[in-house]
Every structure is written in C-alpha cells, then in structure tokens.
Amino acid sequence: MSRAQAIAGVEAYFDEGRFMEVLKKRVAIRTESQEAASRPILYDYLTQEIIPYLQGLGFACEVVENPLPGGSPFLIGERIEAGAAFTLLTYGHGDVVRGYDKQWREGLSPWQIVVDGDRWYGRGTADNKAQHTINFAALEEVMKARAGKLGYNVKVILEMGEETGSPGLNAVCRQYAQRLKSDVFIASDGPRVNAPTPTMFLGSRGGCNFDLKVNLRDGGHHSGNWGGLLRNPGVRLANAISCLVDGRGRIRVPSLLPDSLPQSVREALAGVQVGGGATDPEVDAEWGEPGMTPAERVFGWNTLEVLAFKTGNPEAPVNAIPGHASAHCQIRFVVGSDDANFITNIRAHLDAHGYSDVEVTLSGVQFAATRLDPDDEWVRWGLASMQETSGKKPTLLPNLGGSLPNDVFSQTLGLPTLWVPHSYPACSQHAPNEHILASVSRESLQVMAGLFWDLAEQGTQVMARRAAMT
C-alpha cells in the first residue's frame, strides 16, 4: 500500500457520503456544555458515539471524571503497537456552545446538517466535531493502507468542557501524565488563515480578562443640580481606559507588552495576509501597534480590548449623574509577556496617573500564551507534508490569535505542539449559522492522511534530528 492509496481512501470516505453520515450523528447530539441540563448528554457523546468508534480502531478507552465539582468528563484512548518507535497524542472537544436555536436563519437548525452549496450548517461543524472527525477518519484510512501497522502509538484525549474554559483539563493531564506520555502532539481546532490555504499554528495567544469598576456613590443625582460638582464615574472610567490604551488601539503600559517580536516569528509571518474574505471586516490600517503588519499585530503582539462598558441606564437614560460605571476588558498576549503581573501592573499604572478610584479585578478563566519555535524540526516536517499533499504552500502561524488550552500540552505534558485547523475565519463559530466548507473538509482529510502517513515513514528521523540539535 502507498501514501497515495491512503489519500484515495479519505477521498472516497468523503465522496461516498460516509463523512457526512458520521458528522450528522455527532452534530445531532446536543452537547451544550454551558447548560447544566446537558451533563448526561456529554457522557452520551463519549460512551455512545466516540468510544465504540475508537474501539473499532483498536483503542482502549476510558471515561475519566473531572476532578472539579460539576466539571465535564474526559475520554482517554490508547492504541499501543508492539515495537512502536514513538507516540502521537491528539486532542479534540465534543462539547459545543449553546445552540441559540431561534436565532438561526430560516430553514436551518443547529442540530441538523443542512447543505447550501459549499456550506454545511450545524452547531459543532466548525468547532470541533468536524475537526476531530476528520482526524480520526484520516488516521483510520492510514491504518487500513498500512495493514493496521502504523509503527507508532496513538493516544487521544477528548474533553467535553472546552467551551466553558476547559476546567479540569490541566489537572487531568497532570494526574494521567505518565499514561499520556508522548513524543509529539498533532490536533485541530480554530480556523485556517483563509479558506483556500492549509494552515499550521504552533500555540496560541493567552487571554487575560479583567474588570474595571468605578463606584462613587449610591444612586444617581440630578445633572442640573449636581453637574460640575460630582465626579462622573463614566467620565472617570473612560479616561482611565484611555490611560491604558490610546485612541488608536496602542497599549500605553509598557509592562503589558511582550519583550520583543522575535525574528523567527517575524519571518514566519512575512507575507501572511489577514482578512480579505467576502464576509470579513476591513482591517483598520492605522489601528494597533504602529510599524507592524496586520499579521504581526494579531499573531505576534499584545492587544487590550474593551468588550463591554456600562454607566447609568443605556436603555433608558435619565438626566442624572450615575453612581457607578464598569467595563469588561481583555488582554490577548503572546509568549514573552509578564502575564502573571498584569493586574498588579495595571493597578500601579492607574495609581501613578491619578485613577486610584478605579477598581481592577481578574475575571473568568485565564489562558497562558504558548508557541513552539517556528524553526523546530517537527514544524519543517509538517509543513513539507502538507505542501506535498495539497500542492499549496501552507501558511505557518507561530500562534493562533485566539486562545486555546495549548499550555496543558506544551507545558504540563512538555510536548511539541502542531495544530492543523480545518475551519475558516467566516465560519460563524459560536454564533448562529455555524458551518464548515465541504471543499475545506475534503482537503483537510487529504492533508491529515498525508501527515499521519508521513509520521509513520519519517517520524523517527525527525526525532533523531531534534535530539541532535539539543
């Protein structure tokens, strides 16, 4: 059997409708991890859908309970070959965000795949059911093409709480670190840089959400009687924010920025185009850190965003000076940032500029920033494989612009991490009308089959080259 036959196998899997049939079943399972009532359904997805499938491929599977109270379950699967030279770890998540059923376009449902040209609509198609379905199917076809002998072990961890911030994932990986011990991590989530271009990213920006609040007094006071006499919390907060980030989106607090933009990252991002799709917003050329390309600003640098701002009663304003104001903000940050001290540094900066009346508190789950060196041997190998299969030069992103729990794999488990996404930027991920593109899914099956085949043929050499460089 050959590489070409393995790729032909995934092409048939798609063209004969088998991919569609499997995905239909998985999308129909309402795995809304943000809904407490869905907890039994999260288990069903693992026990009734994924475990029987993986067992058919020779995996030993176990549902692992979340160590956090009320946390979503995990699946650990292991396929061990006698004499295997190394081990691959892969990952996915079977949970989805809320369906928002009534907000979908007429004729669409979040729990049923509807085809409209190249678009396949359904909740979880882009995030993440189609993505791990593609990877499992590609692995299956490579196994068939190699008469069941890969020459490497495969381990899987599938979580059911990614859409609630992956609670418990790090703890589970620490607890089962020996069982999950591997040599390389290859998985899929997030979008390509654009629909036609195969993409690899090596980590993700971190995310730090925080709240700013100004509480000056109880209730409002008539603006005619008290205007000019009482501090306005909305004005105070607006000016405090402008002290952190200027009117063109540039962060004004040096301690919130990374050490530098490494040359290897700059080189990897050279020529990368952001946006440009038919439904993409137009990039603001003068926004963000000056002197950087759009790709450098979103993949190589830090940003501070105001996600929500409230003072008074916006729905029904009255002629009164409000007593309080609040803003929910976020820092997206890259490797080399002092993220452990973000809140302390914001506090110090505001105090130094006279805004001691502004409270600063962390909010929600925080994600670490991670990035595999773009010069790593695994990166060179993966890009070469993707190009051979697709006939296209793949785009390398040192890290995703968004946040993923990649630190669990790169730091807790200590693995080189390669992410090969199968969605695209305009997929409406997390929103009504979520969809994948059939053309991208078919090509992704081909790309992953090529990667898993080449891993069998070349993985030991890649590991040897890496070892020689340490």
Please state the separation of Cα 50 from the chain's center in Å: 21
Q: Give the chain's domains with CATH numbers.
A: 3-204+369-469 (3.40.630.10), 206-258+302-362 (3.30.70.360)
Closest CA to 438 of 130, 119, 136, 124: 119
Beta bridge partners of 367: 207
CB contact at 8 A, 376 and 416? yes
Q: Is the pTM of this model over 0.85?
A: yes
Burial 114-149 (b: 16+ CB within 10 A, else e): eeeeebbbbbbbbbbbbbbbbbbbbbbbbbebbeee
Return the beta strands (E) in 278-340 as ranges. Answer: 303-311, 320-321, 324-333
For residue 397, the SS3 value is strand
Name the DSSP class of 48. Answer: I
Which pLDDT belongs to residue 1? 76
C-alpha gyration radius of the chain: 24
pLDDT block averages, 10 residues each, the chain of length 470: 94 98 98 96 98 98 96 98 97 98 97 98 98 98 96 98 95 98 97 94 96 96 96 98 98 97 94 82 93 95 98 96 98 96 98 98 90 96 98 96 92 98 94 98 98 98 92
For residue 186, is it left (φ>0), alpha (ψ between -120 and 50) or beta?
beta
Q: Which residues contact 96 (CB under 8 A, 6 or more apart)?
A: 31, 32, 33, 123, 124, 127, 129, 163
Q: Is the peptide bond between 128 and the residue preceding it cis, with omega within 30 degrees of 0? A: yes
Calpha distance 448→37 (Å, rounded): 35
How far, in Å, CA of 391 to CA of 380, rounded? 16
What is d(CA 324, CA 48) in angstroms, rounded to the nearest whole number?
Answer: 51
Task: Tokens 């008539």: give the residue.
Answer: 222
Is the peptide bond between 153 and the residue preceding it cis, with omega within 30 degrees of 0? no
Q: What is the pLDDT of residue 364?
A: 80
pLDDT at 275: 79
Candidates 448, 395, 450, 444; CA nearest to 126 is 444
User: Are 24 and 13 contacting, i.e. CB atoms less than 8 angstroms apart?
Assistant: no
Distance CA 268, CA 260 (A): 15
Alpha-carbon gap, residue 417 to 378, rounded angstroms: 9
- The closest of 194, 231, 267, 243 to 424, measured between CA atoms, is 194
> What pLDDT, on the 0 to 100 scale, is given for residue 394?
97
CB 72 within 8 A of CB 66: yes
Pairing of strands 184-187, 417-419: parallel
What is the Cβ-side half-sphere exposure of residue 30, based on CA atoms within 13 angstroms? Answer: 13
CA distance 454 to 449: 8
Encoding tokens for residue 88? 């691959």
Distance, CA of 136 to CA of 121 (rounded, Å)? 21
pLDDT given for residue 72 in this prediction? 97
Q: How far apart are CA 6 and CA 447, in angstroms?
A: 11
DSSP string, 188-223: --SB-SBTTB-EEE-EE-EEEEEEEEEE-SSS-EEH
Give the Cα separation of 141 and 153 in Å (integer): 16
The rounded distance, in Å, linking the Cα atoms of 176 and 245 is 42
For residue 119, the surrounding DSSP H or E stretch is strand 119-121
What kind and span of H or E run contains 63? strand 60-64
Dihedral sign from CA coordinates of 453, 45, 179, 417: positive
